[in-house]
Amino acid sequence: MPPLRILGIDPGSRATGFGVIEIDHGRAHYIVSGCVRVEGDLAERLKRIYAGVSEVIATYAPQALAIEKVFFARNADSALKLGQARGAALTACANRDLTVTEYSALQIKQAIVGVGHAGKPQVQHMVRVLLSLQGAPQADAADALACALCHAHHIQGAQALAQTLVAGATR
């Protein structure tokens, strides 16, 4: 199977984390991570999130997107802004015809840490370990990398299941 490049996104209205990994022969390799940091009024922030995510896609050519679902917010206004930021990122990906898969924070933490209610420091630590990074990535970037790793985990699990089913069917 050829290498698969996955873009993970942790949406935010002030900082949208991104992380790109490549899966090759069952191993995850770090490519890049960071944050699209934005200021200004909401329309300007959404425009910059769209542009920033579009630039990451153009530069690193991922074949798939894993994005964190919005699961809660402190208030309705925060939830709306977070949803709009997520929409800007999704639109950038949709315009490049990326396959989109969504994961809840619980699913991501369960896949990476083994505990669905893990804290940010635990996620950062495990991302660092799983990708053999020298230091812990910034929290939003770590969350995006965790999302990409979660997707890789699910893809590999599905492939293993398919191989088992094919092997069982040929007996």
* Residues annotated as catalytic (active site), given as ranges: 10, 68, 140
Residues paired with residue 74 on neighbouring β-strands, in sequence order:
none
* Of 55, 32, 47, nearest in space to 148 by CA: 32
